[in-house]
Amino acid sequence: MTSAQTMFEKIWRQHVITEEEDEALLYVDRCLIHEGSRHTFDQMDEENRSPVEPDKVFAFSDHYAQTTGRDNGLGAIADPKIRGMIELLTKNTKKHGIRHFDIDDPDQGILHVVGPEQGITIPGILLIGADSHTATHGALGNLSFGAGSSEVYHVVVTQTLWQRKPKAMRIAIDGTLPFGVASKDLILAIIAKIGHGGAAGHVIEYAGSAVDAMTIEQRMTVCNMSIEAGGRAGMMAPDDKVLDYVHGRPYAPAGADWDQAVAYWRTLPTDDDAAFDTEVSLNASDLAPMVTWGTNPEHTLPITGRTPAPEDAGTEADKSEIAAALDYMDIKPGTPLDTIAIDRVFIGSCTNGRIEDLRAAAEVARLGQAKVPAWIVPGSAAVKRQAEAEGLDRIFSGAGFEWRDPGCSLCTAINGDILQPGVRCASTSNRNFKGRQGLGSRTHLVSPAMAAAAAITGKLTDVRSLAKGN
Amino acid sequence: MEAFTKLTAVAVPIDEPNVDTNQLCPTRFNKMPIGDPDYPRILFHDQRFNPDGSEKPDFILNQEPYRNAEIIVADRNWGGGSSRETAVYALMAFGVRCVIASSFGDIHRNNCLKNGVLPVTLPNETCIALRRQLRGNLEATITVDLESQTVTAPDGTQHKFDITPVTKRCLIKGLDDVGRTEEFQGAIDDFRARYRNDLPFQASIAKP
């Protein structure tokens, strides 16, 4: 007799090679790395080891990729240390026979955008990435999580990984996202509800009618920020939309393999009576566009709100946390969020750098002219091509936005794209940590439409008011 | 990996909750190779140093006796955010071998364990009490004994902490994971053969 199982349980069990006390040795199907994986290669050199299944490792030049002048290739990167990180990855992947989406590759882009695009990400698999936003891939019905360079080293040289089994959390989202409210707003609202560490030790399964109604790209935005709620991974059931998305992509199963795969993947969704360790629910219909006011993604409020006051907090610890966050952000308590003037706008990243994100931003950009420098950085070369085919680049350029080349750019701010101290940015990225976009920079996380609205008004703005006024 | 058995050392209280790995190692230092002589300066760099490289005297790691801290007593959600293992290298380069907090970011916690840095989870009230004692006595030390799974506070109070047997064994012996995995090579080979047979569409990858 088999008892009812969650999707997480099914995928986990399918990958257990052996168990030792409370740890399982798991078989890993895919491993994604990037320039920052230099320590993994350094360790391979030291220990004189090489990948056991190099065709299951994929490398991406994204974090350090320059986002202008790409026609000049590496020559466009002035800083030799930044250029060196890309050159090092090229050298290491050549040496070990690893597929590398290098900066001159027609399919280059951010690992969490290109993986699904290329069909490297499929349902059912265990995927390990050298990046905490690896949870993104779980939107296609698999178990995907991030790891540090030691764990990634273990994966690359053994194709396995020791893990303690996380707990299972289900976040049920019913209702319908209202007009002007994006899946980015939904995940920000979830993080505000359960906290920056609220899902620590858990794999999150997102379910409910609002998830069913979402496109695959909207789902990826939600899973992407699971880590900002502390979640080990985020996942969603592989339904017909997922199968349609995956079918025919370059690295995806084809022919008879495809039919066999679909038959298996249809068995993966959580059984009706399966129990979760933790259950959370919220109604999408109640949501408004969200914006972060502080220094971690839990510091989120509807755009119609005001910044909190330290004295309103219940505990001394909360008081000092709010005070410190407001001080860093240089905002007074009780400030209406939609009055906060911004200096810069960034639209892109593994959270919001896909074609639907750029369409949503373009819809708003066409309503006005950018009042502050506003960058559009597509998540991949394929997204960029698609956007240009649809004329989105011309809409953005016409509205005074800057159309750039694909990469992580101002989300992680390590490729030379960086904000100066004190600069305030409305950003579609995933982290508003102190200094994340540059020393002393201040980040307000928003959806692509909200970011475009901020660009054309010069302040944080409720995108619903703009769209209604048109 | 360096073994961890028992440590009696200066402990630095850090009250701020949600200290993310961007604070432990600002992104621009991710490029640095591990042996770089500047590594000890990375930990909390942007809170420790002014743009001209001079120290910010108000920051606790720039104060005595905390320059020599080998233990950090923190608050909740230590090490959330980015998976960068450089955050752990920064801790180690400063000399920190143990972090006590009421909760940890999962990836950072794993990264600590792979490098012989011991993450100890204690209730938040205990963390607060430890920090208060440390601030009240600059001569104070904390003892962390992995064998008996106890933290001894400056006032002598002992606090038991949980750790799983495998994790404990690996830390005490300084065991490297790959060596441990190779003992299971037979099981891995059997698994792979079975997996290729049962789920060929996942076990192999189409060549575009």
Q: How confident is the model at residue A1 (pLDDT cuts 50, 70, 90)?
A: very low
The average pLDDT across A153-166 equals: 97
Q: Which residue of A has its CA nearest to B113?
A: A150
The average pLDDT across B174-189 equals: 93
Which of B2, B107, B204 should be substituted to probe chain A, the one whose Cβ sees the most A Cβ atoms within 10 Å? Answer: B107
Contacts of B173 by beta carbon, 8 Å cutoff, 6+ apart: B3
Asked if A171 and A189 touch (Cβ cutoff 8 Å), the reply is: no
d(CA A189, CA A301): 8
**Would you call A363 exposed, middle or buried from its count of C-beta atoms within 10 A (0-12, 13-18, 19+)?**
middle
Percentage helix, strand, coil for chain A under 3-state DSSP, each rounded to 5? 40, 20, 40
* Alpha-helical segments (H) within A97-204: 111-118, 149-158, 183-194
The average pLDDT across A178-200 equals: 97
Whether A23 sits inside 8 A of B83 (CB atoms) is no
Asked if A4 and A272 touch (Cβ cutoff 8 Å), the reply is: yes
Report the candidate in A304, A300, A284, A409 with the shortest Cα–Cα distance to residue A352.
A409
DSSP code string of A294-343? SSSTT-EEETTSB---GGGSSSHHHHHHHHHHHHHHT--TT-BGGG-B-S
d(CA A175, CA A214): 12
pLDDT above 80 for A470 = no
Whether B85 sits inside 8 A of A39 (CB atoms) is yes
First CA to last CA across chain B, in angstroms? 40
The CA distance from B107 to the nearest CA of chain A, in Å, is 6
Whether A413 sits inside 8 A of B27 (CB atoms) is yes
Element (H, E) at A211: helix A209-213
Whether A146 sits inside 8 A of B107 (CB atoms) is yes
Q: How many CA atoms lie within 13 A of B99 on its CB side?
A: 31
Report the candidate in A60, A62, A55 with the shortest Cα–Cα distance to residue A97.
A55
Q: Is the backbone of residue B44 left (phi > 0), alpha (psi -120 to 50) or beta?
A: left
The CA distance from B86 to the nearest CA of chain A, in Å, is 9
pLDDT above 80 for A469 = no
The CA distance from B162 to the nearest CA of chain A, in Å, is 13
Q: What is the tens place of the pLDDT at every residue in B99-140?
A: 999 999 999 999 999 999 999 999 999 999 999 999 999 999
What are the C-alpha distances in Å from B190 to residues A9, A57, A363?
22, 21, 54
Whether B206 sits inside 8 A of A119 (CB atoms) is yes
Q: How confident is the model at residue A71 (pLDDT cuts 50, 70, 90)?
A: confident
The token pair that represents B198 in the structure block: 């049962």
Report the candidate in A128, A206, A8, A163 with the shortest Cα–Cα distance to residue B83.
A128
Whether A158 sits inside 8 A of B201 (CB atoms) is no
Q: How confident is the model at residue A199 (pLDDT cuts 50, 70, 90)?
A: very high
Asked if A383 and A67 touch (Cβ cutoff 8 Å), the reply is: no
B contacts of A317 (beta carbons < 8 Å): 15, 17, 75
| A160, A317, A431 ranked by CB distance to B81: nearest | A431
Reported ipTM? 0.95
| Separation of CA B84 from chain center | 12
The CA distance from A38 to the nearest CA of chain B, in Å, is 8
Report the candidate in A162, A171, A159, A246 with the shortest Cα–Cα distance to residue A202.
A171
Whether A324 sits inside 8 A of B16 (CB atoms) is yes
Whether B82 sits inside 8 A of A151 (CB atoms) is no
pLDDT above 90 for B1 = no
Residues of chain B above pLDDT 90, percent? 94
Q: Which residue of A has its CA nearest to B114?
A: A150
Whether A296 sits inside 8 A of B18 (CB atoms) is yes
- Amino acid A468: pLDDT: 66
d(CA A331, CA A278): 36
Report the candidate in B43, B28, B129, B75 with the shortest Cα–Cα distance to residue A196.
B75
- Amino acid A225: pLDDT: 98
Residues of chain A above pLDDT 90, percent? 95
- Amino acid A76: pLDDT: 83
d(CA B145, CA B168): 11
What is the DSSP secondary structure assignment for residue B204, as one 8-state letter?
A: S
The token pair that represents A89 in the structure block: 């990855």
The average pLDDT across A331-359 equals: 98
Residues of chain A above pLDDT 70, percent? 99
Which of B2, B15, B25, B27 should be substituted to probe chain A, the one whose Cβ sees the most A Cβ atoms within 10 Å? Answer: B27
Asked if A458 and A341 touch (Cβ cutoff 8 Å), the reply is: yes
Rg of chain B over all Cα atoms, to the nearest angstrom: 20
What are the C-alpha distances in Å from A415 to residues A38, A318, A434, B22?
15, 35, 18, 16
| A18, A36, A254 ranked by CB distance to B187: nearest | A18
Q: Which residue of A has its CA nearest to B27?
A: A414
The CA distance from B122 to the nearest CA of chain A, in Å, is 15
Q: What is the tens place of the pLDDT at every residue in B11-47?
A: 999 999 999 999 999 999 999 888 899 999 999 999 9
The CA distance from B12 to the nearest CA of chain A, in Å, is 18
B contacts of A99 (beta carbons < 8 Å): none
Q: What is the tens place of the pLDDT at every residue in A271-330?
A: 999 999 999 999 999 999 999 999 999 999 999 999 999 999 988 889 999 999 999 999
Whether B180 sits inside 8 A of A162 (CB atoms) is yes
Which of A433, A437, A439 should be substituted to probe chain B, the one whose Cβ sees the most B Cβ atoms within 10 Å? Answer: A433
CB atoms within 10 A of CB A148: 27
Q: Which residue of A has its CA nearest to B82?
A: A132
The token pair that represents A335 in the structure block: 């400030």
Q: How confident is the model at residue B84 (pLDDT cuts 50, 70, 90)?
A: very high
The average pLDDT across A154-176 equals: 98
- ω before B65 within 30° of 0 (cis)? yes
B contacts of A200 (beta carbons < 8 Å): 77, 80, 103-106
Whether B81 sits inside 8 A of A433 (CB atoms) is yes
The CA distance from B41 to the nearest CA of chain A, in Å, is 16
Whether B33 sits inside 8 A of A38 (CB atoms) is yes
- Amino acid A2: pLDDT: 63
